[in-house]
Amino acid sequence: MLKKKDRYVVAVVGATGAVGNEMVSVLEERHFPFEKLRLFASERSEGKIINFHNKGVTVEILTEKVFEGVDIALFSAGGERSLHYAPIAAKAGCVVIDNSSAWRMDPAVPLVVPEVNPQDLKWHKGIIANPNCSTIQMVVVLKPIHDAAKIRRVVVTTFQSVSGTGKKAMDELFHQTADILNFRDIKPVVYPHQIAFNCLPHIDKFMEDGYTKEEIKMVNETKKIMGDGSIKVTATTVRVPVFRGHAESINIETAKKITPNEVRAVLSKAPGVIVYDAPEKNVYPLQTLTAGKDEVYVGRVREDNTVENGINIWIAADNLRKGAALNAVQIAEELIKMA
Ligand code: A2P
């Protein structure tokens, strides 16, 4: 449990990565109560300087000994590092908020989106999991609809940016785009196929049943966060040549009838959601709009009249912020409120 203090020692593990970098920015913007910020990465990054509140913070090598005296550690350095170091950090008295998928489905680890299930923070034992980026933005929108009309089934297709894969993938999209426009040959490295000017229906590994791990994460994590195993979810996850921001097309079937106007009304009062829905003026959520923003944008709200109680929506959010860094920092802020 986090002890009540005026100021906290906070660590970012994986500080040089796409999400880690965003974590540092979000901590700075939200005026997190700091005693000290410590930044960790691999030996490749030792000595790098990262700017924080107009001062340079030096990146240190991650080792088993670094967690002594750290109150809160935000991890985003890949699943292997999380599996190994999170229990070591928790044992040293630090509360870990882990952005990888390593601990998400562990029944002893809460999986939290503060707008949806902050109550689950009460039972953590030192490790709290930050959900998958596509799942976070979806459940922020599903929860108010579920409370109003009880969701029975969700069919989601995602349009996920390359920053969800990490910094190397962002570089790959950048260089491939430039190479193709300059008639140079390309050689995909991060993805199995060309990502520039292309969409890949393939995120994470394929499982035996033909679904990808990303799709299975969306199914299982939604049930755990919403605290309702009866919600049926099926997903198709697609990587698109966008640097930042994930969009999702979501079809929702509810037990109780809910009209598009009622959906807009419910969502306009929901925390962390902006209803952005005036198609006659070309107003609908876009990844370019949500880059750098905190909220999940919802638009294209329509009735699906092929089923008894159906709704179609289109959502977009910044995967590095609400989908990762911001959600992790919001969890830390909730912990401080509860301390
Ligand atoms: P480094 O930059 O030193 O490789 P991304 O997901 O954007 O690729 O970022 C991954 C983050 O995880 C980076 O900060 C990276 O540090 C860090 N990381 C990768 N491997 C290790 C490791 N063995 N020990 C500590 N940090 C690591």
Are 68 and 33 in contact by the 8 Å Cβ rule? The answer is no
Active site residues: 133, 246
Stated as kind and residue range, the H or E segment containing 224 is: helix 213-226
Are 101 and 205 in contact by the 8 Å Cβ rule? The answer is no
> Is 267 strand, coil or helix?
helix
Residue nearest to atom 23 of ligand 1 (CA): 42
Residue nearest to atom 3 of ligand 1 (CA): 42
> Is 72 strand, coil or helix?
strand
Residue nearest to atom 18 of ligand 1 (CA): 77
Which DSSP category does 321 fall into? Answer: I
Question: Does the beta carbon of 194 lie inside 6 Å of ligand 1?
Answer: no
Backbone angles phi, psi at 127, to 5 degrees: -125, 130
Ligand 1: centre distance to CA 51 (Å): 18
Determine the Cα–Cα distance for residues 183 and 194; give it in Å rounded to an integer: 14
49-52 and 72-75 strand pairing: unpaired
Ligand 1: centre distance to CA 151 (Å): 38
Residue-by-residue DSSP string for 104-168: TT-TTS-B--TTT-GGGGGG-SSEEEPPPHHHHHHHHHHHHHHHHH-EEEEEEEEEE-GGGT-HH
Question: Could you give the domains of the chain?
Answer: 8-130+324-338 (3.40.50.720), 135-319 (3.30.360.10)
Query: How many Cβ atoms sit within 10 Å of the Cβ of residue 307?
Result: 14
Q: What residues have CB less than 8 Å from 265, skipping those under 6 apart?
A: none
Per-residue pLDDT of the chain (339 residues; tens, 9 = 90+): 899 999 999 999 999 999 999 999 999 999 999 999 999 999 999 999 999 999 999 999 999 999 999 999 999 999 999 999 999 999 999 999 999 999 999 999 999 999 999 999 999 999 999 999 999 999 999 999 999 999 999 999 999 999 999 999 999 999 999 999 999 999 999 999 999 999 999 999 999 999 999 999 999 999 999 999 999 999 999 999 999 999 999 999 999 999 999 999 999 999 999 999 999 999 999 999 999 999 999 999 999 999 999 999 999 999 999 999 999 999 999 999 999
Ligand 1: centre distance to CA 41 (Å): 5
Question: Does the beta carbon of 302 lie inside 6 Å of ligand 1?
Answer: no
Ligand 1: centre distance to CA 86 (Å): 15
The minimum-distance atom of ligand 1 relative to the CA of 19 is 7
Question: Does the beta carbon of 320 lie inside 6 Å of ligand 1?
Answer: no
- Amino acid letter for position 205: K
pLDDT for res 337:
96
Question: Does the beta carbon of 12 lie inside 6 Å of ligand 1?
Answer: no
